Amino acid sequence: MNPAIQQQWPLLLGNIRAAASDIFQHATTGRQLAERKSDGSLLTATDLALQESIGKILLSYFPDIPVLGEEMTENEQAAILATGNCWLLDPLDGTSNFSHGIPVYSVSLALMQQGEVVAGLVYDPNRDECFQALKGAGAYLNQQALNRRNDEPCRLEHAMAIIDTKRLPTGLAIAIATENPYHSQRSFGSVALDWCWLAAGRIQTYLHGKQKLWDFAAGALIAQEAGCLTATMQDKQILGSPLTLAARSAVGACPSLATNWPEWIRKHS
C-alpha cells in the first residue's frame, strides 16, 4: 500500500466520520422523500450530500485517486474501475431504512489499488461506531481490535445469522425457511454493517444472494482482517480478482464455522 495513504489514514477517517455525522445530524428525521432509481433502489438528498462531501474530502487528500460512487452512471463507474486504483464509495448503505426512519444504515468506503481492496471504512452514525481495516494490519471498531480467531468454537445450531432470503435461489431459500440450521436469523438492510457485525462477533453466519462491489468491498475486508470467512456461494473469495461491477453472492462465517456453513449451503443449493 502507498505509504502516504497509511500515514494519512487516521486523519482521513476522522474527517469523514465528522463530515458524515454532521450531515446525518442535520438530515430530516423520520420518513425522507426519495426518488426511485432505474434499478428500483432509492435515492435521497442525504445520499447526494454525503457523496459530495466525502468525495471532496478524498480529493483534498489524494487528488490523483478517483472516486467511484454508487450514484454514478454505470459507464462512469466502469471507466474508473478499469484504472484499478480508486475509492469505492457507497455514501448511504441502507437508504430504504434511512428514508423510512429505521436506524440501520451506514457510510461505506473502500480503497482499491492495482485491482485489490486494501483499505475499508464503515461508519454507523446511529451508534457512532467506526469500523476500519488496512489489509494485513487487522480490523478495528473505533480503537478496539477485532479478532475472531481466538473465539470459543461455535456450533452451527447455536449461531446467530444474518440471511437475506429474497435474493437467494428458490431451493436454498426454502431450505433456509424450513430447516433453520442456526439458532436464529435476522435481516437488517445494510450490507456493509452485516459484514462488520460478523467481524465484531455479533453474528456467526451470513448469507446474501446479490451484492455490488461498493456494497461489500469495505465490510468484507474488515471481516477478513478479523479472521472471518469472506466468500461467495461459488466457494471463491468475495474480494478475489478480478473485481468487477457484476454483483456477487456472499457467504460469511466466524472461523469455527468456516467449513460447516459453506458445506450446509452447498448441500441445499
Does the structure show a pLDDT above 70 at 35?
A: no
User: Does one domain contain both 93 and 119?
Assistant: yes
Give the domain CATH number at 69.
3.30.540.10
Q: What is the pLDDT of residue 144?
A: 97
Q: What is the pLDDT of residue 14?
A: 97
Last residue of one domain, picked from the residues 115, 146, 177:
146
Does the structure show a pLDDT above 60 at 190?
A: yes
User: Does one domain contain both 85 and 170?
Assistant: no
| Total domain count, the chain | 2
Burial of 98 (0-12, 13-18, 19+ CB in 10 A): buried
User: Does one domain contain both 68 and 195?
Assistant: no
User: Does one domain contain both 130 and 10?
Assistant: yes
Does the structure show a pLDDT above 80 at 261?
A: yes
Q: How far is CA 10 from CA 32, 141, 183, 226, 268, in A?
A: 32, 13, 38, 19, 43
Q: Would you say residue 109 lies in a domain? A: yes
Q: Would you say residue 255 lies in a domain? A: yes
Last residue of one domain, picked from the residues 116, 146, 176:
146
Q: Would you say residue 231 lies in a domain? A: yes
Q: What is the pLDDT of residue 192?
A: 99
pLDDT-based confidence at 263, cuts 50/70/90?
very high
Q: Would you say residue 223 lies in a domain? A: yes
User: Does one domain contain both 134 and 254?
Assistant: no
User: Does one domain contain both 138 and 196?
Assistant: no
The identity of residue 58, as a single letter, is L
Contact 268, 175 (CB under 8 A): yes
pLDDT-based confidence at 26, cuts 50/70/90?
confident
Structural domain that includes position 207? 156-268
Q: Would you say residue 174 lies in a domain? A: yes
Q: What is the DSSP string of 105-142?
A: -EEEEEEEETTEEEEEEEEETTTTEEEEEETTS-EEET
pTM over 0.85: yes
User: Does one domain contain both 14 and 101?
Assistant: yes
Does the structure show a pLDDT above 80 at 38?
A: no
Contact 84, 112 (CB under 8 A): yes
Q: Would you say residue 185 lies in a domain? A: yes
Contact 202, 103 (CB under 8 A): no
User: Does one domain contain both 98 and 179?
Assistant: no
User: Does one domain contain both 112 and 225?
Assistant: no
pLDDT in tens, 207-257: 999 999 999 999 999 999 999 999 999 999 999 999 999 999 999 999 999
Average pLDDT for 23-27: 90
Last residue of one domain, picked from the residues 128, 146, 164:
146
Q: What is the pLDDT of residue 40?
A: 46
Range list of H helices, the chain: 3-26, 45-61, 74-81, 95-99, 170-179, 191-199, 213-225, 260-268
pLDDT-based confidence at 28, cuts 50/70/90?
low
pLDDT in tens, 127-172: 999 999 999 999 999 999 999 999 999 999 999 999 999 899 999 9
Q: Would you say residue 151 lies in a domain? A: no
User: Does one domain contain both 97 and 194?
Assistant: no
Average pLDDT for 10-14: 96
pLDDT in tens, 86-123: 999 999 999 999 988 999 999 999 999 999 999 999 99
Q: Would you say residue 47 lies in a domain? A: yes
Average pLDDT for 67-77: 91
User: Does one domain contain both 171 and 225?
Assistant: yes
> Any idea which of 7-21, 28-42, 173-187, 217-231 has the lowest mean pLDDT?
28-42
Average pLDDT for 171-192: 96
Give the domain CATH number at 229.
3.40.190.80
User: Does one domain contain both 92 and 160?
Assistant: no
